Amino acid sequence: MLQLTLISPTLEPLSERLVFVKNKSMLNLAIKADKPAYGIKQRVTLTVSAKDSLKAVEGVRLSLAVIDETKVPFDDNNETTILSTLLLTSDLQGYIEKPNYYFNQQDEKKLANLDLLMLTLGFRRFVYKDLLADKFPAKSFMPEQGITISGTLRNKTGLPINKGTMLLTIPDKRYNKQSLTTAVGVFAFYDLLFNDSSKVTLSAKYNPNPTNLMMIMDGMPEPAVTSNKNKAEEILNIDSAMTAYLANSSKQYRFMRTIKEVVIAGAKAKKPSHSDHPVLSTLSMLADHIIAAETLGDCAFLVDCMKYKLTGVTFERDEFYLTRSYNAGDRTPMLIFLNGIQIDFNGINGVSTSDVESIEIFTKDAVGSLSRANNTNGVMVINTKKPLTPNKKKYTAEDLKKLIPDSHTIT
């Protein structure tokens, strides 16, 4: 596509238009069959030749597909080709209906219509004064100077941490960098340069109560999804447009072996919960938080997983507290049950992580009988699988270090 501009002697643009440059050295393909007609399932031999405007072309790589257009209709004018997409629609701003029409079996009428298309959709605003004055447009995006790592620092209740200290460490380069979070908990490290597969550690352990903090990393930025001006045209009657295709599909599947419908009947296995125990009947039917066994992981000791993975719960000095009350200064511990039996911190140590089905957290007792009788705030219910099986797996100190990650550190 060629852009022509008419300029006055004083270098003022007067007119402009686009012209599509038609390449005359197009590749002409010819297909010749060895027989005028063929029988059912008879072998077909086709000879394909490729020529340009002068002579036959050698070493052409082609891909062929055989289609029965009586069963699968094919519209050549609406197909996507190099000419219609790369050389036409990509250079014009507006919508083009069936762009391949202008290149499919070209004649004088189609060439005239293509020229009218250039006049219609080729209009654009243009300013040459800035170009002649060496005035360049403002930069929308500056070149990248390095890698950016950003995210948000929050406590386990979801509140952002203002002026929190963040430390970034790259051990391979002996590099440390410190940053403070904004009022909404956002932190960012700009212009980082390090090799691929380098180990980068982000830590918030130098803040007060670091075990109650969590970091939420920002994902990779993605470009906005815009509407395609040359999207497929709307078909008013889809049934009539696909009649031949649907009829052929119905005929094809009619002679195939189809498995009869299989109906699986049965009740879903009931998982253990606090409702199985009468002593917990005063609690709500739905827990405020439920931590499944998959979330706990494979810790050697159950209490080690509970310290960091219980939502809305803070652990300190062998006691569990509701985080919201703990941050407000209330040090009233939670009431803990194991399969309907009240236990303390030492009782948790006797439970294996692999035996736990779920942990239910109740921020309040609906009736209040449990909290008043035991002077507690909140209820934690540990439900185990049935039957209990002893955990015979042995762990080393290195295994424990890997299985108990710090919530305030990301590597």
Average pLDDT, the chain: 83
Indicate whether 240 pLDDT > 70. yes
Q: Which residues contact 310 (CB under 8 A, 6 or more apart)?
A: 289, 291, 320, 359, 361, 380
CB-based contacts of 353, cutoff 8 Å, min separation 6: 293, 296, 297, 298, 299, 300, 301, 302, 305, 391
Q: Which of 188, 183, 194 is nearest to 166 (CA)?
A: 188
Over pLDDT 70: what percentage of the chain? 91
**CA 367 – CA 205 distance, rounded (Å):** 39
Q: Answer for the pair 198, 226: CB distance below 8 angstroms, yes or no.
A: no
Residue 182 buriedness (CB in 10 A; 0-12 / 13-18 / 19+): middle
Strands 175-180 and 213-217: unpaired
Whole-number Å distance between alpha carbons of 78 and 104: 10
Measured distance CA(69)–CA(48) in Å, rounded: 20
In sequence order, the 6+-apart residues with CB closer than 8 A to the CB of 171 are: 199, 201
Span 348-360, average pLDDT? 87
Cα–Cα dist 129/328, whole Å: 66
Residue 104 has pLDDT above 70, yes or no: yes
pLDDT-wise least confident of 163-177, 266-280, 343-357: 266-280
**Does residue 335 carry a pLDDT above 70?**
yes
Total residue count of the chain as it appears in this document: 411
277 pLDDT exceeds 80? yes
pLDDT digits (tens, 9 = 90+) for 394-404: 777 777 777 66
Residue 220: half-sphere exposure toward Cβ, Cα within 13 Å: 3
117 Cβ partners below 8 Å, 6+ apart? 92, 96, 102
Indicate the residue type of 376: T
Domain annotation for the chain: domains and CATH numbers:
2-121 (no CATH), 147-217 (2.60.40), 274-405 (2.170.130)
296's enclosing H/E stretch is helix 293-296
Which residues 6+ apart lie within 8 Å of 55 measured at CB? none
Q: How confident is the model at residue 350 (pLDDT cuts 50, 70, 90)?
A: confident
pLDDT for position 238? 76
Q: What is the pLDDT of residue 227?
A: 76
Residue 204 has pLDDT above 70, yes or no: yes
Report in angstroms the alpha-carbon separations of 374 from 246, 274, 302, 345, 369.
Answer: 71, 18, 24, 15, 9
**Residues 6 or more apart in contact with residue 377 via CB below 8 angstroms:** 321, 322, 325, 330, 332, 333, 334, 371
* pLDDT(194) > 80: yes
Decide: 212 and 314 in contact? Cβ < 8 Å. yes
Q: Is the pLDDT of residue 388 over 60?
A: no
Token reading at 12: 């003022």
Per the structure block, which two tokens stand in for 376? Answer: 């507690």
Task: Quote the CA–CA distance of 213 and 158 in Å, as a whole number.
Answer: 9
Q: pLDDT tens-digit profile of 296-318? A: 877 878 888 888 888 889 988 88
Q: Are 149 and 169 in contact (CB under 8 A)?
A: no
CA distance 160 to 156: 10
Type of residue found at 168: L
Confidence at residue 236, expressed as pLDDT on a 0 to 100 scale: 72
Q: What are phi and psi of 355, to 5 degrees?
A: -90, -10
pTM above 0.75, yes or no: no
Query: Which residue bears the tokens 């739905």?
Result: 286
Q: What is the pLDDT of residue 391?
A: 57
